[in-house]
Amino acid sequence: MNLRFIFAIFFLVTGTAAAADFDLVIRNGRVVDGTGNPWRYADVAVKGDRVVAVGRVTGTGTREFDAKGLVVAPGFIDIHSHSDFKLLQDGHAQSKIRQGVTTEILGEGGSAGPYRGKVSPKQVTVGKTEHELTTLGEYFDLIDRSGVSVNVASYVGIGNLWRAAMGDSFDRPSPRQMALMKKLLDEALRDGALGLSSQVMMPPGSLATVDDVSELCKVVAKHKAIYSTHIRNEGLGVFEAVKEAIEIGRRTGVPVDIIHLKIADQKFWGRMNEVVALIEAARTEGLNIQANVYPYTRGNNNLVSIIPPWAHEGGRQKLVERLKDRTLRPRLKRDIRSGISGWYNHFTAVGGDWSRMLISSNSMYRGLTMDRVLALRPRPKDGEDDLDQLFDLLIEEGGSVSTVYAHHTDRDMTLALRQPWCSVGSDGSAYSIEGPLRKGNPHPRNFGTFPRVLGVYVRELKLLKLEDAVRKMTSLNAAKVGLKDRGVLRPGAFADITVFDPETIIDNAKYTEPFQYNEGIRFVFVNGKLVLDGEKHTGVKSGRALRRK
C-alpha cells in the first residue's frame, strides 16, 4: 500500500478522534444546575452517560446543540407518578418526556410488586409476550429488558404488603401476618425500592393504624430509606392526618414526604398556613418532614371514594353487591351526607356539588361533570334521589369510575409550593395523544405539570424564582429519595438534561381537553442520549430501572 496513503488515513482518523472530545456539547445556554444557585452562561459537555464539564468547553462534541436563549437544566424528576404498567404498554413515556421529565418515581398505596401471599402474581403483557410478576425486583428487571425512555424508580406500596398478608379482609393483622408484611417490605427494599409508600385514605391502606405503619417503618429505618404518604384525611381531618405523619417520623426516625399536600374541603380553605406551621414545628424539632404538590386545584380519585369505608370490605365484588342491596341504601346515604368520624368524605368536601365532579374514566360519560351525567340518566324512581343514581352508575361500571374533584384552592396550593421543603410531583401517568394510551379524560397534570410550574408560577405570576422552581423539580426530589448523581448538572452526574425556552414554556392540557402536549421543551436527554428533539420523540429508550443501594 502507498505510504502516503497510509499516512493520510492515519491523520484523518486521529484528527477526527481529537476533534470529537465529547459525545455531546450543549453550548451558550443559561445553566440552572438544580441546586438553587443563580443561573450562569455555560456549556455542558457529556461523555457516555455522564456530564464531564460545565463551563467554557473548548473541545468539540460528536453532536453539538446551540442553546442560546434557552435554559439548560437537569432532567426533571417526577416524585409522584403512576406510570407503572403504562410504561410496559408504551415505553416512550410521551406525556412525561415532553414535560422534560427524565425520571419517574412510582408507587403510592400500591406498587408494581410484591404480588405474594394472598395476592396472585401479576400478569402483564409486553409486546406479544406474557410475563408474571411476583416481586418489585422482577418489575425492575422487566423495565430494563423491555426498554423505556425515562428512568424508573419505585417505592413499595403498603397496599401490596397488606393484601399479601390479609387479602380483602378488614380484620386486624395477627403478629404472624405483620411479620409477613415486614418480611416482604425488607425484600422489596433489598430489591431496590426507595422506601415505603402509603395511601391511608382508602382501604386497604386505611386499615393500617399509626402503630402498624410505625412498625413497618422500623424496617424502613434499618435500610435508611424514606416513608412517603398520602395522608389519611385531606379534608376536615387534615390537621390530625399531618400530625399522624409527623408522629410516625418521630417514633421511627425515618424521613417523611407528604404526597400532594393540600386542604381538600371547602370548610377549611385558607388554613394552609396552619399545616405549614405544623411541618415547620416538626422540622424545628429535628424531624425530616417534607412534602410535594402538583400545580392544580383539582384532584383525581374515584366516584367510589364517596362510598363509606365499611362498604368496601371484601373487595370490589362485595362492594357492588352492597350497592345493589336496597336495604343498605339508607345507611349508605346517611353516612355519605353526614360523614363518619375520621373518614375523608369527598362528597361533603365539595359541598355535595355534582358540578365539581368530572368523569375522567373511559366510560360513555367521560369529560362530563356529574350534574350533566345525572341529567342524562333516566329519572329516579319514586323515593329515589341522586345518590341512588350514583349507586346505579357504580354498579354499571363495576364499582369504579375515575373522577376529578374540584376541592382545593390555588392560594393554599401556592403557599405550600413556596416552602423550601416542598417539591413538585405530577400524581400523573405517561399517556400519549395517540395510540392505546389515549383513553379516558385524564387529569391535565398527566401532560402539563412541570411546564405549568415554569410557565405560570415562575414567568407569569413570579411566585417562584426560576432557580428555585428547577430545584423543586430536580435536586430536591433526588435528595429526598437518595438518588445519587441525579437532579444536578455537574461533572460526574448522570447526563439527564432538559433544555427549554423560559419565554414560551407553558402547559396546554385542559380538564375537558387533556390530550395536548405543552410548548417550550426543546431537547431532553436521558443518560446522555437524545430522546426529545424539538417536537419529535426520537424513539430512543435510554432509561433505566434505578434501584436504591
Rounded average pLDDT per 10-residue block, the chain, 549 residues: 42 47 98 98 98 97 97 98 97 98 96 97 95 98 97 98 96 98 98 97 93 98 98 95 98 98 96 98 98 95 93 94 96 94 90 94 90 90 90 95 93 98 98 95 96 98 98 98 97 98 98 95 98 97 96
- Pairing type for strands 20-31 and 60-66 reads parallel
∠ Cα 136 138 143 (to 5°): 95
Q: What is the pLDDT of residue 19?
A: 60
Q: Both ends of the chain: CA-CA distance in Å?
A: 55
Q: What is the pLDDT of residue 214?
A: 98
CB atoms within 10 A of CB 491: 12
With b for 16 or more beta-carbon neighbours within 10 A and e for fewer, the 382-410 pattern comes to eeeeebbbbbbbbeebebebbbbbbbbbe
Query: One-letter amino acid identity for 44?
Result: V
Give the chain's radius of gyration (CA, Å).
Answer: 25
DSSP conformation class of 203: T
Q: Which three cell numbers stand for residue 409?
A: 384552592
Instruction: Give Cα 350 to chain centroid, integer Å.
Output: 24
What phi and psi, each to the nearest 5 degrees, are found at residue 217?
-70, -15
CA-to-CA separations, 366 to 405, 429, 443, 513, in angstroms, rounded? 14, 18, 12, 11
pTM for this predicted structure: 0.92
Do residues 532 and 546 lie in contact, with contact meaning Cβ atoms separated by under 8 Å?
A: no
Q: Where are the alpha helices (DSSP H) in 397-497?
A: 410-417, 445-452, 466-473, 475-481
Under DSSP, is residue 354 helix (H, G, I), strand (E, B) or coil? helix
Cα diameter, the chain: 102
State the Cα–Cα distance between residues 521 and 532, nearest whole angstrom: 8
